């Protein structure tokens, strides 16, 4: 598995960053936002969460069932009631994990995160295996990548430098259902993690101050 930007044991068997797999429920339909230079509470507010609902979040050791994410379990959210958001900061970058993809599909979210000269990105994976990544700087969308139409041999050259480097670090996963060099559906999650320095494990995240909130 040529993934030069990821240390051993930080990807699952399918090539998804292991911390995301371990946060998600067993049939994920989720979104990850990252932003450089914004604190977790401000990032949660930028994606539409209500500040009075924010709370420190200690993740449980395991999920109670296949339908629950760890953030939902931590917040006492019944699967299907609403999305659970989890935010934390690693170095210069803050992440917001949305366990239900409720903040996906609205380009104003990533634009809001990237205001005032910041860099931000959003990666979404749906239950229909639709995968995409949006990248914005200073309130302007600079790239949108749809995995179904991504040509790794030609498209990377047109990306902004740091985003191209993130996709190069993401590498490719060999799969018998894919042509050699064809992008797999986890590549955008690997790329956004490479962009934000999130080549990590869930145990590493447990050591961080985390904020959680229901969305709604």
The domain limits of the chain are 18-215
Q: Is the pLDDT of residue 180 over 80?
A: no
Map tokens 């993809």 to a residue.
101
Map tokens 């990252």 to a residue.
34
Q: Which residues contact 82 (CB under 8 A, 6 or more apart)?
A: 100, 102, 214, 215, 216
Dist CA 5 CA 146 (whole Å): 21
Mark 105-143 as b/e (b = at least 16 C-beta within 10 Å): eeeebbbbbbeeebbbbbbbbbeeeebbbbbbbebeeeb
Per-residue model confidence as pLDDT tens digits over 14-52: 899 999 999 999 999 999 999 999 999 999 999 999 999
Alpha helix stretches (DSSP H) within 60-201: 70-75, 107-113, 161-170, 187-196
Record the tokens describing residue 106, joined without a space: 């609205």
Per-residue model confidence as pLDDT tens digits over 126-172: 998 899 999 999 999 999 999 999 999 899 999 999 999 999 999 98
What's this model's pTM, rounded to 2 decimal places? 0.95
């Amino acid at each position: 598995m040529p993934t030069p930007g990821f240390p051993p044991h930080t990807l699952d068997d399918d090539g998804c960053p292991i911390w995301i797999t371990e946060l998600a429920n067993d049939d994920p339909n989720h979104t990850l936002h990252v932003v450089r230079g914004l604190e977790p509470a401000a990032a949660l507010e930028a994606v539409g969460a209500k500040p009075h609902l924010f709370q420190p979040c200690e993740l449980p050791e395991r999920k109670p069932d296949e339908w629950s994410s760890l953030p939902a379990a931590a917040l006492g959210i019944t699967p299907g009631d609403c999305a659970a958001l989890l935010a934390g900061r690693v170095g210069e970058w803050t992440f917001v994990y949305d366990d239900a993809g409720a903040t996906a599909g609205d380009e104003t979210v990533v634009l809001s995160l990237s205001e005032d000269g910041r860099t931000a990105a959003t990666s979404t994976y749906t239950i229909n295996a639709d995968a995409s990544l949006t990248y914005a700087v200073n309130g302007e969308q600079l790239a949108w990548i749809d995995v179904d139409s991504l040509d790794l041999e030609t498209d990377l050259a047109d990306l902004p430098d740091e985003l191209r480097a993130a996709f190069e670090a993401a590498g490719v996963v060999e799969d018998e259902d894919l042509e050699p060099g064809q992008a797999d559906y986890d590549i955008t999650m690997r790329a956004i993690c490479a962009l934000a320095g999130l080549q990590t494990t869930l145990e590493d995240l447990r050591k961080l101050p985390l904020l959680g909130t229901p969305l709604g």
